[in-house]
Amino acid sequence: MNEHQPVELVVALSAARKALHLYPPTHPKYAEAIGSLLDAAAACLAEGPFTLNVHLGRLYHGSQVLSVDAPGLRSMTETLESHRVESLTLHDGFTQRDAETLIEVLGLRASQTLEVGEELEKRGVSTVTISALVDEDAEEAEERDRLRQQDRALYNRLIGVLRTLTHRIQKTGQPDVGDAGIIVEGILGRLMEDSAAVLGLATMTGNTESNLFHSINTMIYSLILGIGLGIPEEGLTTLGVSALLHDVGKIAFDMTDPEDAEKARYLHPKIGAEVLSRLPEQDRTPMLVAYEHHMGRDGSGYPEREADYVTHPYSRIVAIADRYDRLTTPLPDGLAHTPDQAVMQLLRDTLTTLDQTLTRLFVKHLGVFPVGCVVRLSDQSVGIVSGMTDDSLRPRVRVMYDPTGLAIETPKDVELTEVGLEVLETVDPDNLKVRISDHL
Ligand SMILES: [Fe+2]
Ligand SMILES: [Fe+2]
C-alpha cells in the first residue's frame, strides 16, 4: 500500500457520501462512487485490516497524518467527529452492500443516541468496526442526571411516607417512629455519599404540603450538622427522627386559617411533645426536641420556662436547621432569603437565640456560598453553586449562562479552584428565571 491510498480511500468515502446526497441510490453516478470506494478499500485492505483514526480534527492512518488538502477530507473528518467515531477499521470481505450501508449510516444525522458501530451491526455489516469517541462531558452529565433522578425519586418517596405517617397520627394520635426511621435512613445513606446532592434536594419546596417539605429539609440540615459533629449513626437516626417530627404539633391546627395558624405558632411545641410522649419507645429525644425547638438561648421563644432551663443539644441543632429552612423558603409573598443571606442571618441570630458554636459549625459545612446560591463569576458567566471545594470562597458551580449571557444547553459543573475563577457577587435568583431546585 502506498501513502496515497489512505487519502484515496477517504476521498472515495467522501465522494460516495456526496453522491448519496445528490442522487437516488439507483443512479449510475452513485453506483460509480461506490465502485471507486470498493477499489480504494481493496487497495488499503491488501495488507490486512485497515484503520483510520480521528484525533482533534485530523485523520490518521497509523502515524501518518492525512493531508487536509485533498477534496472532501475535511468534510469526512467532520462527519466522523460529529458521529463520535474515534476510529474506523475495514476488514477483509468488505462488500458492495457493506459499502452502501456504511455510506448510508454516515449520512444519518448525528445525535447523542446514534452510535455508528451499533447501527452498522444492526444493519448486518460485520466488515467495518468502529470505536466510539467517549464524550466525557456528556457521560458525566448523563450520570449526574441519572443520580439526580434517583435522588428526586427518593425525596418524593420520603414525602409520601411522611404524608402517610402524618395522616396516621392525625387519625389515631399514635406516632409510628418506625416509618420515620425509614425516612431518615433513606436520606442518611445518600448524605454520607454525596452531601452536596442532598443539599440540592433540600432546595425543593412545595406550594402545597409545604409542612412536609419543611420537615424533610429540616431533617436534612440537622443531619448535615450532626454528621459534621461526628455523632454516631444511632444518634443520627434519633436526631433525624426528632427533626422530622419537630413540628408534628401543627397537625392539630388548620394552618390555612390565619387565626388557627397563629395559635399553632405558640402551641405546636407543647402539643407536639404530647403526641410524641405517646411513643412506645424509651427514647424521649423526639419529644424533647418538639418541645424545645423554639426556645431561644436568651430566654426568648416558647414555651415559657425557668431562666436556667437548658435545652437538649439536638433541640439546638434542629432550631438552627429549622431557622435556615424557614429563611430560604419563599413566603406566600414570594420573598425568601438567598442561601448566603440566610447564612448571614443565622450568624446574627447567634447573638440572641441560636447556639453559637453549633451555628458556626453549620455555616462552615454549608460554606460562604451554600448549595443553591446563584453567583456571577469573574468571567461574567452565571451559575448555581452545586457543591463545596476545599476553598470556601470558591465553590463548585453549575454554569448556566456563558459570559455573553447566553443559556448553556448542557450546563457543566466547574470547580472554581481548578479553573481560576472567582465569585464576583451573588445574584437574585429571580433574575435567572429558573427554579433553582430544577437544576440541582
Ligand atoms: Fe416549629
Ligand atoms: Fe419548623
CATH of the domain at 328: 1.10.3210.10
Q: Based on the domain organization, do 183 and 229 belong to the same domain?
A: yes
- Report the predicted TM-score, pTM, of the whole model to 2 decimal places: 0.71
Clarify whether residues 214 and 300 are in a common domain: yes
- 103 and 193: one domain? no
Q: Are residues 275 and 195 in the same domain?
A: yes
Final residue belonging to a domain, choices 365, 394, 414: 365
131 backbone dihedrals φ, ψ, rounded to 5° = -110, 130
Q: Could you tell me if 392 and 311 lie in one domain?
A: no
- Between the alpha carbon of residue 298 and those of residues 181, 290, 294, 351, the distances in Å are 32, 19, 11, 9
* 62/192 same-domain check: no
Closest-approaching ligand to the CA atom of 218: 2
Q: Do 292 and 379 have their domain in common? A: no
Q: What is the pLDDT of residue 75?
A: 87
What is the pLDDT tens value at each position of the chain, 440 positions in all? 778 899 999 999 999 999 988 888 889 999 999 999 999 999 999 989 999 998 877 889 988 888 777 778 888 988 898 888 999 999 999 999 999 999 999 988 887 788 899 999 999 999 999 998 776 667 777 888 888 899 999 898 889 988 998 888 888 878 777 778 888 888 898 988 888 889 888 888 776 788 899 999 999 999 999 999 999 999 999 999 999 999 999 988 888 888 988 999 999 999 999 999 887 766 889 999 999 999 999 999 999 999 899 999 999 999 999 999 999 998 777 788 899 999 999 999 999 999 999 999 999 999 889 999 999 999 999 999 999 888 888 999 999 888 888 888 778 888 998 888 999 999 888 777 777 777 77
pLDDT of the residue at 180: 82
Nearest ligand atom owner, CA of 212: 2
Assign 113 to helix, strand or coil: coil
> How much is the pLDDT for 413?
87
Tell me, yes or no, whether 213 and 325 share the same domain: yes
Determine the structural domain holding residue 271 and report its residue range: 140-365
pLDDT for position 331: 79
What is the spatial distance between Cα 255 and Cα 264, in angstroms, rounded to a whole number?
8
**Gap from CA of 269 to ligand 1 centroid (Å):** 7
**Same domain? 309 vs 189:** yes
For residue 333, the model assigns a pLDDT of 73
pLDDT of residue 207: 67
- Between CA 202 and CA 185 the distance in angstroms is 16
Ligand 1 mean position, distance from CA 277 (Å): 17
**E-assigned strand segments in 343-422:** 374-377, 382-387, 396-401, 407-415
Q: How far is the CA of 261 from the centre of ligand 2 (A)?
A: 13
Cis peptide before 303 (omega within 30 of 0): yes
Q: Do residues 59 and 174 share a domain?
A: no
CA distance 82 to 73: 14
Pairing status of strand 407-415 against strand 423-426: unpaired
Domain boundary among 346, 365, 384: 365
Identify the DSSP state of 380. Answer: S
Query: In terms of domains, do 159 and 225 share one?
Result: yes
By three-state DSSP, how is residue 201 classified?
A: helix
Of 134, 167, 192, which marks where a domain is finished?
134
Q: Which DSSP string corresponds to 258-320?
A: HHHHHHHHHHHHHHHHHHHHT-SSS--HHHHHHHHTTB-TTS-BSS---TT----HHHHHHHH
Helix 4-22 to helix 73-82 angle, to the nearest 10 degrees?
70
Q: Which residues touch 117 (CB under 8 Å, ≥6 apart)?
A: 129, 130, 131, 132
Residue 213 half-sphere exposure toward CB, CA atoms < 13 A: 17
The number of folded domains in the chain is 3
At residue 72, the 3 state secondary structure works out as coil
Q: Are residues 323 and 400 located together in one domain of the fold?
A: no
Which residues, by Cβ under 5 Å, contact ligand 1, an ion?
247
Do 218 and 182 form a contact (C-beta atoms < 8 A)?
no
